[in-house]
Structure 1
Amino acid sequence: MPYLQESLPSRLLLLIGLCCASAVCRAEPFEVFLQRHCVRCHGPETQEGDLRIDRLSREFNAGVDTHQWAEALEKVNSGEMPPKEEPQPTQDEIATFVANLDARLQDGRASRMAARPAVAHYRLSRKEYQNTVYDLLGVRYDPTEPGQLNEDTLWHGFERIGSQLSLSPSHIDRYYRAADIVLSRAFPAAQPEPRHVRKTAAELRYGGGKNQQEALDRFGIQRPLRYLLFPGRVQSALSPHWFGKTGAEHSGLYKVRLQASGIRPPGGQPAHLSIGKQTSEETVDAIVEFDVTAPEDHPQVYEFEVFLEMPVNLHFCVVATDVVDRRAGAAFRNALASRGGHIFTHSSETLLLNPNAPQMFDDQGNGIFSTVILDWIQWEGPLVSEAEQSRRNGVIPPDDATPEMVAEHLGRFAERAWRRPVMKDELENYLQSYHEQREAGESPAEAFRVAMHGVLTSRNLIYLVEGDPAAREYLTDWELASRLSYFLFSSMPDDPLFAATKAGNLDGEGLESEVDRMLTDRRVDRFIDDFSRQWLQLHRVGMFPPDKTLYPDYDDWLEASMRAEPVEYFREVFTKNLPLDELLDSDWTMGNVRLCDFYGLPEPSTSGFQRVSLNPDDHRGGLLTMGAVLGLTSDGTRHRPVHRGVWLSEVILNRTPPPPPANVDPIEPVPPEGTKVTIRQRIDAHAKNPSCAACHRNLDPLGLAFDHYDAIGQWRTRERVPTGMGEDPLVDASGVMPDGRPFSDAVEFKRLLIEDRDKVARAFIEHLCTYALRRVLTVDDQDDLKLIEEEAKRRGYRVKDIVRAVALSQLMRKR
């Protein structure tokens, strides 16, 4: 009968409803409400947002259109629908409709719960695989290297959604290759001895410096030769031949130490040094980067640990917008870089050594460019820490082990790798491989490596397997332990969590104790890094590089700093358990020297990110006015208010707008003979298209509130319009929220969002649960989400407490 009803005209449907049996009569107010208040805009004649209410399935048990029905319920219940210009239902009509629709959704949810599939598989992301093999065997492996694991498919920024992470034949080949690499590094045929290489400035810059030292001796200069690293050209930092013959077996952790100081021009940027693989004549893909703020007379020793896939060539790159080639060109750079040309020991000595040399300093000794002065650099590695080695000790049985001992060793390894108890029959094939290798003449250790290779390439490691052939609603303790661990550690359970699970302590106080421990463990930094990066869609930062002619102050260092700022900010909020409101607005931020220079804030006294106080005149505070957020929604030439509105709707409110209608005309630039107008004014004209008006009504205010910020997040009062006649127009960042509340600028807009903290908190919880459960939430999750929300609200919506509430929720225990 419901399908028949859907195919009939609305008037005939109403007539049938008046005459049908009592069950259908009870549904009459539901359909009448839809006819009176919904079908006009979402029916045969008009389909705003590509939605036709009359065609949505009434078979709620099937769950086909539950998402659309749940959205309709939310909009009606909040008063957002019907629109203000349409006839309004009475409060009684709204209450009846909401109760009726909610009951239908709940009945459908209960019916579908019993039909859930018995087994779910969630493939590990590349990052999770990397962390897992490290925590399992202490092996550093980079899955992003060319030829390694395939890039993860993203869903709204999240890289761990199970339905997106398929497993193709190319994936399988790469997992086999990855297992080979991991085992060869964990159990090498011969452990390479760590090597130590030190290069002085004379060796790096002057080929030993014999001739240059003779020149210094003639002048009577006692200072040692030093190496000028300047913007606009990369210079060698590591060549693999320094270590002799190197290959993949020498890949691993290396310690780099260098002594350096910086030259900063008056009013310019401090020197920023990057070390990485060369990507162009002027840039590198940095693996280490830092500010060099030590003065020339008091150089500082900097020390870092980096993972290197050997053999590799690395280069220095000084990042600054005051690059040399803008002043003097290639001849100038070549003269500075040539081995026999420019000799340098100290800024006060340069003219004495060579009056015709390129000038790096003015007549008062001030630097003309942001420059790094390098005294020496040393590399040591590959290094294996005691903690890393301890994870490998005892894994391989002794050469004289009995078959029973071999099986016991493999069982222990598989239990940790697969994150659960392992039955003997599950290991039969792997043990068979071991015995076949032994019969073929392989050593016990090599044969056991073959068995371990099978364990590492099993679906039980690559996937999180939740469920078993007997359908059940809740996870086992072992499944829960893995879900918690990959939520908070982005990796396998650690030893205390394994022990608690074995002891049956993952319930009640025992579960709370484990979650509280994990929230203070250093590995929770992985959650901070991964969740904030994915939730805020920071992979889009730099996707459209800003036009250098329009934004000359934008450089790689600024982009890297922008990408890091939201993560470091979230780390501070999480670590100090600050209220969720702080994510929206605050009187502080996390900044480094480059960001503070960009924002016009007082610079930190040391390198790295620090907490920086803000004043109202700084026009910052919270995530929404950070350069990364404002820049990732731009196209490299101009800001895009609609895209900013879409980002805010998705990320802050967890409401994904429908895609724009097909063949909609783009927003055209102002013609040369036209009057300069803002993008806002052009959007207003564009939004008059009936197909566009509904979405723009809800999205535009969210983005226009930040029109005082340009494409890279700089504050301005006038919008730069490159074409047209007249002066650049004043920015208008005012607007009206979808519910009718007005605001004049971003400050007032953020206050309105804070007034809606319940909605923002609900959205944040939904994002956390999506990340934790590795799937898109459904209407079936609403009751559990409401319980998490109530607990979070009771604790004042503090961010760590919200994460804790998610980890302890019933939703985390459900399959």
Structure 2
Amino acid sequence: MTPQFIAPNLVVLPSSTVPRCFIAIVLFLAAGLGLENAAYGSDPFEAFLEKHCVRCHGPENEEGDVRIHQLSRDFKSGLDSHHWAEALEKVNSGEMPPAGEPQPTQEEISAFVANLDARLKEGRAARMAARPPVSHYRLSRKEYQNTVYDLLGVRYDPTKPGELNEDTLWHGFERIGSELSLSPSHIDRYYRAAELILDRAFPATSSEPRKVHKTAAELRYGGGKAQQEALDRFGIKRPLRYLLFPGNVQNALSPNWFGRTGPEHSGLYKFRIQASGVRPTGGQPAHLSIGKRTGEETVDGLIEFDITAPEDSPQVYEFEVFLEMPTSLHFCVVATDVVDRRAGAAFRNALSSRGGYIFTHSSETLLLNPNAPQMFDDKGNGIFSTVLLDWIEWEGPLVTESEKSRRNDLVPPDDAAPEVVAAHLQRFAERAWRRPVKTEELEAYLQAYHFEREAGEKTADAFRVAMVGVLTSRHFIYLVEGDPVARERLNDWELASRLSYFLWSSMPDDTLFTAAQAGSLNGEGLKQEVDRMLTDDKIHRLVDDFARQWLQLHRVGMFPPDKKLYPVYDAWLETSMRSEPIEYFREMFAKNLPIDSFIDSDWTMANARLCDFYGLPEPKSDGFQRVALKPEDHRGGLLTMGAVLGLTSDGTRHRPVHRGVWVSESIFNKPPPPPPANVDAIEPNPPKSPKATLRQKIEAHRNDANCAACHARIDPLGLAWDNYDAIGQWRTHEKVAAGLGEDPLVDPSGVLPDGRSFEDSVQFKQLLLEDRDQISRAFIEHLCTYALRRVLTVDDREEVAAIEAEAKKHDYRVKDVIRAVALSNLIRKR
């Protein structure tokens, strides 16, 4: 019998094909359909409940702790709407009613579903009509940083200690409006931030960029005159080189190199270095970290990169970094534990003494005397990773013409008339507030300006007071949507901001402002703008910010792995792991690949450190590259990345349940309920008991009735990855510290709640791919949550379904999915 379509997106199956759980779900969720204590049978909907539900879930019986007569039937409140929407899904998918119970007829099911669908829509309409007229969404710290830069061309780091308060996260998302409150201390910090930003935009004294160039001879040998004389005696023509080696922090930028410095010299600096690397046979390339010194052998890295150039072919490496001046920076060469084995204080002192050791090249055997610290074997191969520095160069502060242009004509001239001052402030406020601004909205700021002028301040200084007011207004700090009178859709100015903060994490540019002013953000005009925005370089902000928040990458390194258990784990590996999913997302966006690759692929994005960790061929160039995978590599897709496997671990062991929760949340967008209170922790293996896997210990939780149902849904999603330890290394046996016998074999098999079984992670990923539509819908829901800055509700289901249908036409390709969200009705609605 052919399924009958009753309402949009709803299909009623013949009663003979509908399986068991219909009644139970309907009874449990029937709360929201009418008045309390309504007479059953007073309408067809109540008649259906009385005929098929009350016998098990009425006053005389209570299955599943549900009594229909005690459940609210107020649909406008929406308290149970999400449950009813789930019930509709169950009916639509043919999972109801249960076998062994009297079956409703096709006509009864059709009438019930149509009635339920109508009540859901009526409730949604009532809730939409009752919305507040104005909504406020505070900018996250990252969005504030980007907006300040795009508005004034000023670089400002709100994450520094003492700057803006940390954003409250909701399942990894840092821009959910309901979570971003504004405390009194926060307001004070916004005022200080505005003052600092204007200091940098309009400094009291100008600072021309300066360049400082230091050779190895200047850095290491005090000019190298005596060392050069020795080289001349040996007839060695190579220049002196500065050895940067593990276990020692060495100078990279002294505060006095640029002369007298102060806050006005903070800014963007360009760093260049010509260097090569000595790499031990079979070892890692030298990794150079440049930052502020934090210890004898550590720095807080601002710049991180591998030195892969061989000593015969040094390479120039170049980076840009924002520096708060005055500052001092140091080099630190990161390598695995060779420092403890081969260096030590005596070794470091010998290499660090200015006249104690001359180095140009490892092949200069005359310089490699047996009494010198041994860095090379008898064949000239490096014993540990070392950087050979030829010269370094710092240049700054740098200001681009584009940055300067954003400040042009912002401040009125000294002799400006009041109306000219008002016009300047209005133009600035319209860009800062991202909408047309009426003159009367600026009265308080203009009064502050005139008060400062009457007190004897210069025009620029007085105008700055008004600018501080604009930058600390709710219209700048918040995205403000709405009018005193409620309306359903955004106007063009609000839509422009919603689009720009979705795709660029910042304010609209001039082109988008112009489109909003012209009222052309609809139809083809909207499509043209979205397509333009998707190709702008600022789209990388979406790649960086959405991937980081969606995948909850803030948790990487939250529990540092135990160095004794995982000696290969270091700071550079952690940084590389955190970057891998983002670079992977960037590649998928750039190539517009289907979302299937999130689940499985025969490639990944890796740098030299990750390739060494995963056992992959090393990339041919520096940084992240696309690397091909083979089945024996046991990688592919997000779920086998070190970051994902590590963020769900506790630093000592993997946690299958936490991995399952992450998969449920991030891949299926189904956050499980929190665990019951006072759940017993999993204890270490007793010394005199046979060694048991973590999986075997988790099985005990299934014996608890309070835990069994959730564990049945969550555990298989996490146990599939048991071949990977706490930092994501592949293994076949689980290492158990205490207990009797050998380390037990890993068992990654499982059974999904729907009965499908798998033997390992490879089969599990294939089952996930069979759920492609469900995973695509979850990805779209995450994107919509990010774009709308709020949690989705049942009222969004139809719009999300429309986005899903549009994305499916394009094979769920990532860029097309993002485009479908940006062009959707959901984005245009308040």
| Fold conserved between structures, TM > 0.5 | yes
Deviations 1:760-809 (A, max 9, x none): 11111110000000000111111111111111111211111111111111
Q: Does structure 2 retain, via aligned residues, the 8 Å contact 1:259–1:300?
A: yes
The 1:509/1:780 distance shift into structure 2, 3 A limit, reads same
Which residue in the other structure is 1:425 paired with?
Answer: 440
Which residue in the other structure is 2:712 paired with?
Answer: 697
Q: Does 1:268 align with 2:283?
A: yes
State the SS of the aligned residue for 1:208: coil
Deviations 1:195-228 (A, max 9, x none): 1111222222233334444544454433322111
Aligned partner of 2:534 among 511, 519, 523: 519
The 1:44/1:692 distance shift into structure 2, 3 A limit, reads farther
Q: TM-score scaled to structure 2, two decimals? A: 0.91
Which residue in the other structure is 1:208 paired with?
Answer: 223
Q: Does structure 2 retain, via aligned residues, the 8 Å contact 1:17–1:25?
A: no
Report how far residue 746 of structure 1 moved: 1.0
Which residue in the other structure is 1:324 paired with?
Answer: 339
Which residue in the other structure is 2:502 paired with?
Answer: 487
Aligned partner of 1:787 among 772, 782, 802: 802
Greater Cα offset, 66-75 or 492-501: 66-75
Which residue in the other structure is 2:46 paired with?
Answer: 27
Aligned partner of 1:198 among 213, 219, 225: 213
Q: Does 1:239 align with 2:254?
A: yes
Number of aligned residue pairs: 797
Q: Does structure 1 retain, via aligned residues, the 8 Å contact 2:266–2:322?
A: yes
CA distance in structure 2 between the aligned counterparts of 1:779 and 1:427, rounded to whole angstroms: 40
Letter aligned with residue 316 of structure 1: F
Which residue in the other structure is 2:661 paired with?
Answer: 646
Greater Cα offset, 318-327 or 155-164: 318-327
CA distance in structure 2 between the aligned counterparts of 1:100 and 1:229, rounded to whole angstroms: 75
CA distance in structure 1 between the aligned counterparts of 2:259 and 2:303, rounded to whole angstroms: 23
Deviations 1:320-372 (A, max 9, x none): 21431233433323333343433322223377355322211111111111111
**Counterparts in 2 of 1:723-734, with a 5 A limit?**
723-734=738-749
State the SS of the aligned residue for 2:330: strand
Deviations 1:483-510 (A, max 9, x none): 0000001000011101111111101100
State the SS of the aligned residue for 1:377: strand
Which residue in the other structure is 1:5 paired with?
Answer: none
Report how far residue 293 of structure 1 moved: 0.9
Which residue in the other structure is 1:499 paired with?
Answer: 514
- 5+ residue gaps, structure 2, are 1-27, 30-34
Which residue in the other structure is 1:552 paired with?
Answer: 567
Letter aligned with residue 344 of structure 2: G
Q: Does structure 2 retain, via aligned residues, the 8 Å contact 1:343–1:350?
A: no
Q: Does structure 1 retain, via aligned residues, the 8 Å contact 2:45–2:115?
A: no
Deviations 1:49-100 (A, max 9, x none): xx9988654322112233344445546655778999x989779687776555
CA distance in structure 2 between the aligned counterparts of 1:32 and 1:633, rounded to whole angstroms: 47
Which residue in the other structure is 1:709 paired with?
Answer: 724
Greater Cα offset, 575-584 or 345-354: 345-354
Letter aligned with residue 165 of structure 1: L
**Counterparts in 2 of 1:350-361, with a 5 A limit?**
352=367, 354-361=369-376
Letter aligned with residue 739 of structure 1: D
Aligned partner of 1:623 among 610, 625, 638: 638
The 1:161/1:730 distance shift into structure 2, 3 A limit, reads same
Which residue in the other structure is 1:808 paired with?
Answer: 823
CA distance in structure 2 between the aligned counterparts of 1:748 and 1:259, rounded to whole angstroms: 48
Q: Does structure 2 retain, via aligned residues, the 8 Å contact 1:77–1:98?
A: no
CA distance in structure 2 between the aligned counterparts of 1:230 and 1:377, rounded to whole angstroms: 16
Deviations 1:269-289 (A, max 9, x none): 011111112233332222211
CA distance in structure 2 between the aligned counterparts of 1:600 and 1:441, rounded to whole angstroms: 70
Which residue in the other structure is 1:4 paired with?
Answer: none
Letter aligned with residue 383 of structure 1: L
Q: Does 1:160 align with 2:160?
A: no
**Counterparts in 2 of 1:452-463, with a 5 A limit?**
452-463=467-478
Which residue in the other structure is 1:599 paired with?
Answer: 614
Deviations 1:259-315 (A, max 9, x none): 100011010001111111223333222221111111112111111111111122211
CA distance in structure 1 between the aligned counterparts of 2:704 and 2:353, rounded to whole angstroms: 62
**Counterparts in 2 of 1:346-495, with a 5 A limit?**
346-349=361-364, 352=367, 354-495=369-510
The 1:439/1:381 distance shift into structure 2, 3 A limit, reads same
Q: Does structure 2 retain, via aligned residues, the 8 Å contact 1:274–1:286?
A: yes
Q: TM-score scaled to structure 1, two decimals? A: 0.93
Letter aligned with residue 26 of structure 1: F
Larger relative contact order (CA 8 Å, sep ≥ 6): 1
Which residue in the other structure is 2:22 paired with?
Answer: none
Which residue in the other structure is 1:771 paired with?
Answer: 786
CA distance in structure 2 between the aligned counterparts of 1:239 and 1:88, rounded to whole angstroms: 84
Greater Cα offset, 164-173 or 337-346: 337-346
Q: Does 1:125 align with 2:140?
A: yes
Q: Does 1:761 align with 2:776?
A: yes
CA distance in structure 1 between the aligned counterparts of 2:37 and 2:428, rounded to whole angstroms: 69
Which residue in the other structure is 1:13 paired with?
Answer: none
Greater Cα offset, 241-250 or 214-223: 214-223
CA distance in structure 1 between the aligned counterparts of 2:747 and 2:283, rounded to whole angstroms: 32
- 5+ residue gaps, structure 1, are 1-8, 11-15
Report how far residue 101 of structure 1 moved: 4.5
Letter aligned with residue 705 of structure 1: A
CA distance in structure 1 between the aligned counterparts of 2:401 and 2:645, rounded to whole angstroms: 44
Letter aligned with residue 718 of structure 2: G
Identical-pair percentage:
74
The 1:17/1:180 distance shift into structure 2, 3 A limit, reads closer
The 1:228/1:53 distance shift into structure 2, 3 A limit, reads farther
CA distance in structure 1 between the aligned counterparts of 2:719 and 2:524, rounded to whole angstroms: 48
Q: Does structure 2 retain, via aligned residues, the 8 Å contact 1:80–1:738?
A: no
The 1:67/1:319 distance shift into structure 2, 3 A limit, reads farther
Letter aligned with residue 692 of structure 1: C
Aligned-residue CA RMSD (Å): 2.6
Aligned partner of 1:613 among 611, 628, 632: 628
Greater Cα offset, 619-628 or 212-221: 212-221
Letter aligned with residue 49 of structure 2: F
Which residue in the other structure is 1:540 paired with?
Answer: 555
Aligned partner of 1:298 among 313, 319, 327: 313
The 1:340/1:686 distance shift into structure 2, 3 A limit, reads farther
Which residue in the other structure is 1:134 paired with?
Answer: 149
Aligned partner of 2:697 among 652, 660, 682: 682
State the SS of the aligned residue for 1:717: coil
The 1:265/1:33 distance shift into structure 2, 3 A limit, reads farther
Letter aligned with residue 494 of structure 1: D
Report how far residue 38 of structure 1 moved: 8.0
CA distance in structure 2 between the aligned counterparts of 1:270 and 1:91, rounded to whole angstroms: 72
Q: Does structure 2 retain, via aligned residues, the 8 Å contact 1:37–1:87?
A: no
Which residue in the other structure is 1:177 paired with?
Answer: 192
Report how far residue 599 of structure 1 moved: 1.1
The 1:134/1:349 distance shift into structure 2, 3 A limit, reads same
Aligned partner of 2:162 among 147, 168, 174: 147
CA distance in structure 1 between the aligned counterparts of 2:783 and 2:682, rounded to whole angstroms: 36
The 1:32/1:221 distance shift into structure 2, 3 A limit, reads farther
The 1:32/1:249 distance shift into structure 2, 3 A limit, reads farther
Report how far residue 232 of structure 1 moved: 2.5
CA distance in structure 1 between the aligned counterparts of 2:110 and 2:374, rounded to whole angstroms: 79
Report how far residue 151 of structure 1 moved: 0.7
Q: Does 1:65 align with 2:80?
A: yes
Which residue in the other structure is 1:565 paired with?
Answer: 580
Report how far residue 386 of structure 1 moved: 0.6
Report how far residue 244 of structure 1 moved: 1.7
Letter aligned with residue 793 of structure 2: T
State the SS of the aligned residue for 1:628: helix
State the SS of the aligned residue for 2:703: coil
CA distance in structure 1 between the aligned counterparts of 2:584 and 2:611, rounded to whole angstroms: 14
